[in-house]
Chains A and B, each alone.
Chain A
Amino acid sequence: MEFKNIGYALLTIFIVLNYGLILQGVVRKIGARVGRRYGIRWYQPYIDIIKNYAKRSTITHGVMFYIAPVFRLTGGIGLLLFMPVIFGSDIFGNFSFAGDLVLVLYFQFFGILGMALGAAESGHPYSAIGVSRGLSQVTSFELPLTLGVIAIAMQYQTLNITEIVAAQQGGFMNWTIITNPFAAIAMLIAFLGAMGRSPFDVVLAPQEIPIGPPTEFQSGLLGVLQLNRAIFPAAKLILFMNLLFGGATNWAELILKTFLIYMWPVFVGTVFPRFRVDQSVRWFLTVPLIIGIIAIILI
């Protein structure tokens, strides 16, 4: 590791952050257009973040509450940096030499756990309810995801993401989604849960428990969370792109692929209504689980 890596990492974060924000805006815009609305401006997420940072007063419920957004954003950035973003690029390989796929999978929880703790310290019952729902849902979609990951790791005989991407080079017929469809389907369904969009958005459930865990967060704290909301989904998209869709050799390819992958939960989300938690837990542990098991058996 050299110090220039840090510079490269900052560059990656910068690009992905912007990409994430724009993606967020564009997707919401698309959602609005589906509903025959004009929708927000594509740069609205930027304004929101600036607005939140420009808030003058902040309240805090305690230490955990204060550093929860830090945990969250660290989780998001870490997830991004532990993955090779652009295949074959020294600059955007980031810190993927520190750990493999297992690290990436487990590092997701770093932010989730930290956020949950902070939200809980706010003392707001809705936060706790949101966390309860969120964790319940995470546990359930993690099972098909794990099965899919094992299947993929076995398929390529490695846990090294770079090598997994390398093995998928040379045309889309080499992509995992073609070569190992069951694992890919199981993981893509789990991906729906991971993105937290409808029908699996009961965690935030704006009409029900205001917005779940972040209910009490405001101003700068919320701003940090918003940054994470830009980076974290983008990082997840990149992970799935790397695992299932052959990775990307340049930014254009990355943007195209991740955008299209994102359309999958967006599409499902605009079509299906919300599941209750027990329903989604049950659902994840039936259909996707069976697909995952088939994927394992077929190895």
Chain B
Amino acid sequence: MEKFNLENISLVIGILVILIGLWGLLTQKNLIKIIIGFALFDTGIHIVMVSIGYIKNGTAPILDNAVDINNAANAVVDPVPQALVLTAIVIGLGITALMLTYVLKMYQKRKSLEINNYNDLKW
């Protein structure tokens, strides 16, 4: 039963979301759907990040009275991944926004959201 603890479940879910995202990214022909695939991929990564930083039964990493200062490292959930996730989410947002900007521009040029219509450059 050890395996079905919270961190493992979230880890598996995170990886599943990554894979679903990749699947969407690779198979969908619609640009918007591709971006959605990417968003899923990104979110999956965030879930994985958080789940890796989780320490079983740890509390929120706030150094107040609830936590023994001397034992803080073992008692609280590692704060760093959470900080990282925040940054990563911001960056992911930025990227997603930029992608959407690109799609907008592309649609303005060609009036099409089909990725196969943008294959002019090759070889």
A touching B, CB within 8 angstroms: no
Interface residues of A (CB under 8 A from B): none
